[in-house]
Structure formats: structure tokens, C-alpha cells
Structure 1
Amino acid sequence: MLFKEIHLSGIKSGKITLAFRKWQKSSIKIGSLLHTAFGLVEIRKIETVNENDITDKDALNAGFADNNQLLKSFPHNSTGTIFKISLSYHSADPRIKLREQTQLSELQFTELKKKLERLDNQSKQGHWTKKVLLTIKDNPNLHAIGIAKLTGFEKEWLKLNIRKLKNLGLTISHTVGYELSPLGKTFVLRLKDEG
């Protein structure tokens, strides 16, 4: 579930407490915490509604001027059910604190290695994590297409899997491209020392 920056700002300040989406079926659950650029957003309640049930007050609470503006925000010719989602800002993204680490204990290093080995072993692409981390290290801010060309992996697959590295605190995503986080740089250095 994606949000525009202006809506994320409103959610963080508490001015926006609702979101409306038109889906074939709900893609989120009550209690879910969504990672966003502004931190974690908690899903508090989900209900289905008809267009006529959405009040101007609902629209205001979702960051729109009125019901009409909200309805126009749905993709043109979209079909499905309208979901009214109550939400709130939960906390800062814990991955930020994690990725800023520059020290790794032996235990933390071993745990991270195990997590990457699991990602490698679960992938149909085989061992990919080290190759991708080293490519990002050597080519900071390179976009997914460039990394795909250098590694031989398909772009969409790569984007999805770099997100897994980000969740471990190893990479940082920019508007264009990626770079290793301080934790990622420390980890890759330790990997190289091992040979």
C-alpha cells in the first residue's frame, strides 16, 4: 500500500487518519505495520464502503478537500470494492537505526551471514546476496537496470530482493539507485576479510 508524500506527512502529524483504496480484495490486515518513507504506519481498522457513504469529513480525514476529489483519486476505470482504512503513525522506521550501525559483534556478523545464506538457499537464482552487495558497493547510486546488467539478474526480481537486503539494514534506497548503508559497508568489509 503506497502513500503520496503529502499524505504521509499528514499521517505523521495526525491530521490524516483515513485512507481509501479501490481493490479487488484487501491486500492488508488490521494490525499490520507498513514501512514508509516517514516511518511505520499502523492499520487500525478496515471496512468496505459505497461511494455514497463517504462523507466530506471522511475525505478531509484522508487528506482530500471533499468527497468528489477523493473519488477522482481512484485510478480511472478501476473496478473493485472501496476499502475505508483507519490508520495512524506508529513510530520511526527501525531499519534506519539498524542501518546506521558501524560496529558488528561476532554474533551479529554470524547472524547476518546466516540470514543471507537463507536468502541465497531459498532463491531459484542461487547465491546472489554477496554478488549484489558487492555490485552496489562498487557502483553507489546505480539504478536497478544498471545493477541488473552487471549481475545478470532480471530488474524486477532484483528490486524485490534488494528490498530484502534493505530490511536487514544493509542497503539504502534512493530516488535513483542504491548504496550500502554504514552497516552494509561494515558487513561487506568483514566478508572480504574472511576471504
Structure 2
Amino acid sequence: MMIRPAELEAIRDGEIDLAFRRWDRARVKVGTRLRTAVGLLEVTSVDAVPLSALRAEDARRCGAASLAALKQALSARPTGQVFRVGLRYAGRDPREVLRESVPTPAELAEIRAGLDRLDAASPVGPWTRATLRIIDDQPEVRAPELAAQLDRPTPEFKRDVRKLKERGLTESLAIGYRLSPRGEAVIDAEDGPRERAPRREGTPLPRTIGAPATRALRAVDVHTLEAVSAWTRSDLAALHGVGPIALDRLSAAMAEIGLDYAGT
């Protein structure tokens, strides 16, 4: 179930709690938990409803501009039923908690055995360690560039990185990836302790601001929300690639940790 970044943030903040979709059948069920860029969302209700039964309150609760706008969006696809889906924010993604935990020796042995199983089952041969190492060597580099260096198709490479993310070994950034502390422990166990640049202190830029804004911020050495808070909104708006939507999302992300733009 795809949900736009602005809607994800509004659900997390408690501003909306419904989504409407036109499906041939229900694609989610009550209790389903969706992993998103803002954390876990839980499906609280799923009901098929006639388009004619929608009311202004439904539009407000799903973040639509108006009832007419909601009906127009749902009418764009003439087939299938309209489903009203209740949603609530259900907390942080468990993978975030997992990747921050450094494994014990017993856990490390279990992780490595799991990676061996992934390698053994792969039609392209062993890939887990090579993928972890290239991310370790080149954090914040776009997936297509990493995939090309490994001579792998980008979709296939991204799919496999997601398998590592499920184990808490990698983190997806606004652009590219990096190893989590858990992933670093695995590589250090394989290769011996590695010298790495110090991890940036602070809160990473949210992925929802988009690649152009992320590149623009990196170009002026702004990599964290704490660094963003040293800039005024107008100064950041002057950077090519940083538009109003990105600025609003940066503002919302900073507000969560008690920060704001300089001079605000």
C-alpha cells in the first residue's frame, strides 16, 4: 500500500487517520503493520464503501483538499471497489532498534550463519559480504553506482540490500546506504577491525526530502538536522534543489527533536 510522504507524516502526527483506495479486493487487513519511512503504521479498519457514501469528514480525515477532490481522485480509476482504510502510527520500525544493537558473540555467529544461507541460496553465488563491504567502503553512494561496481543490475542489488536491512545490518539514507553498528560488527568479525571515518553525530536528513534537496545540502556540508538548524529557512531556500516541500519536511523533522530553523 503506497502512501505519499506528506500523508505518512500526517498519519504519524495524528493529523489524518484514513486512506481511500480503489481496489478489486482488499489489499490489507485489520492488524496489518506497514513499514514506512516514518516508522510503523497499523491498519485499524478496512471497509468497502460506495463512492456516493463519502462525506466531507472522510475527506478531512484522509487529508484531501475537499470531498470533491477525494471523489475525483477515486474516479480516476473506474473499476474496482472503494475501500476506506483506517490507519494509525504504531511506533519506530523494529529494524531501527535492531541495527543499533551490537551483537554478542553468539548473535554474531548466528548472523554469519544466516548470511551463509543467503549466499548458498543465491543463483548469482555469494554476495552478502561483498555487498556489506562496498557499502562500508562507500557510504552515501547511490545504489546504481554501487551495483555497477559489482556488475549487478540495480533492482537486483537493491533487493539484496533490503535483505541485509531486514537483519539490521544496513541503513538506507536519503541517498545511498551505510552499515549500521550491527553491520560494522559483522564485517569486523570477518576482516578484523577496520578504520572508518567517524560516524556523523546528529540526526540524519530525512529520506522524504528527496535526492535533489539532499545533494544540495551535502554540497554545503549539511548532513544532519542539527546542521540544518544552523541555517535560516530563506538561506536554505536559495540553494538550487531545496524547494518548499523539502523545507517543510525538514521543519517537521526538526520539530520532532526540538529544533527549528535559525532565527525562527
TM-score in same-fold range (> 0.5): yes
Q: Quick check: 1:83 aligned with 2:83?
A: yes
* Structure 2 partner of 1:150: 149
Percent of matched pairs sharing the same residue: 34
Aligned counterparts of 1:156 and 1:138: Cα–Cα separation in 2: 21
Question: What stretches of structure 2 of length at least 5 have no aligned partner?
Answer: 194-264
Aligned counterparts of 1:169 and 1:16: Cα–Cα separation in 2: 30
Aligned counterparts of 1:74 and 1:151: Cα–Cα separation in 2: 43
AA in 1 matched with 2:188: L
Higher strand proportion: 1
Q: How many residues align?
A: 193
Aligned counterparts of 2:144 and 2:67: Cα–Cα separation in 1: 40
* Structure 1 partner of 2:56: 56
- Residue-by-residue CA offset, 1:91-149 (whole Å, 9 max, x unaligned): 11121121122x32111101211222232233322221111111111111111111111
TM-score normalised over the length of structure 2: 0.66
* Structure 1 partner of 2:124: 125
Q: How big is the shift at 1:74?
A: 5.4
When residues 123 and 81 of structure 1 are mapped into structure 2, their CA distance, relative to the original with a 3 A threshold, is farther
AA in 2 matched with 1:61: R
In structure 2, the residue corresponding to 1:87 is in which secondary structure?
strand
Contact kept, 8 Å, 2:11 with 2:88, in 1: the verdict is yes
Aligned counterparts of 1:156 and 1:74: Cα–Cα separation in 2: 30
Aligned counterparts of 2:74 and 2:158: Cα–Cα separation in 1: 26
When residues 72 and 110 of structure 1 are mapped into structure 2, their CA distance, relative to the original with a 3 A threshold, is farther
Aligned counterparts of 1:179 and 1:78: Cα–Cα separation in 2: 43
AA in 2 matched with 1:52: S
* Worse-matched range after superposition: 73-82 or 23-32: 73-82
* Worse-matched range after superposition: 5-14 or 22-31: 22-31
Aligned counterparts of 2:168 and 2:26: Cα–Cα separation in 1: 29
Q: How big is the shift at 1:16?
A: 1.3
Aligned counterparts of 1:132 and 1:75: Cα–Cα separation in 2: 44
State how 1:157-168 maps to structure 2 within 5 Å. 157-168=156-167
Aligned counterparts of 1:53 and 1:121: Cα–Cα separation in 2: 54
AA in 2 matched with 1:111: E
Aligned counterparts of 1:58 and 1:128: Cα–Cα separation in 2: 48
Aligned counterparts of 1:174 and 1:158: Cα–Cα separation in 2: 16
Contact kept, 8 Å, 2:135 with 2:179, in 1: the verdict is yes
Q: How big is the shift at 1:26?
A: 3.4
AA in 1 matched with 2:133: L
Q: How big is the shift at 1:10?
A: 1.9
Q: Quick check: 1:187 aligned with 2:195?
A: no
* Structure 2 partner of 1:177: 176
In structure 1, the residue corresponding to 2:171 is in which secondary structure?
strand
In structure 2, the residue corresponding to 1:83 is in which secondary structure?
strand
Q: How big is the shift at 1:83?
A: 2.1
* Greater Rg over alpha carbons, structure: 2
When residues 50 and 160 of structure 1 are mapped into structure 2, their CA distance, relative to the original with a 3 A threshold, is farther
AA in 1 matched with 2:178: E
* Structure 2 partner of 1:15: 15
* Structure 2 partner of 1:136: 135
Contact kept, 8 Å, 1:20 with 1:83, in 2: the verdict is yes
Aligned counterparts of 1:80 and 1:120: Cα–Cα separation in 2: 41
TM-score normalised over the length of structure 1: 0.88
Aligned counterparts of 2:107 and 2:187: Cα–Cα separation in 1: 13
When residues 137 and 57 of structure 1 are mapped into structure 2, their CA distance, relative to the original with a 3 A threshold, is same
Contact kept, 8 Å, 1:18 with 1:61, in 2: the verdict is yes
The CA RMSD over aligned residues, in Å, is 2.2
Aligned counterparts of 1:30 and 1:53: Cα–Cα separation in 2: 21
* Worse-matched range after superposition: 135-144 or 112-121: 112-121
Aligned counterparts of 1:74 and 1:131: Cα–Cα separation in 2: 45
- Residue-by-residue CA offset, 1:19-50 (whole Å, 9 max, x unaligned): 11233443323211111121110112212223
